[in-house]
Amino acid sequence: MPIEFYDVKTRKKVSLGDNQVKKVTYQPKGSGGPRYAVRGEHEGRKLTKFVSKADYDKLTCPEEKA
């Protein structure tokens, strides 16, 4: 299942496959629970997309430490 990111530099949407992305959980400082994201790289630029907990759990890609 390809995941769609928005590349800010080129101002275009980019699709990356499951084998090109990793799941990440961020623990923000302050009041708030964890944030769930998917990270990938396209043309040397790192791309991040924040997702819901349900979408995060559905993903089969490997998990990365934040």
Q: Edge-to-edge strand order for the sheet containing 63-64?
A: 45-51, 35-42, 21-26, 63-64
pLDDT of res. 66: 64
pLDDT of res. 38: 96
Q: Identify which of 59, 55, 47, 57 has the alpha carbon closest to the alpha carbon of residue 5.
A: 47
pLDDT of res. 29: 87
Band (pLDDT 50/70/90 cuts) for residue 31 is confident
Q: What is the pLDDT of residues 32-65, one digit of tens each?
A: 899 999 999 999 999 999 999 999 999 999 998 7
Pairing type for strands 21-26 and 35-42 reads antiparallel
pLDDT of res. 64: 87
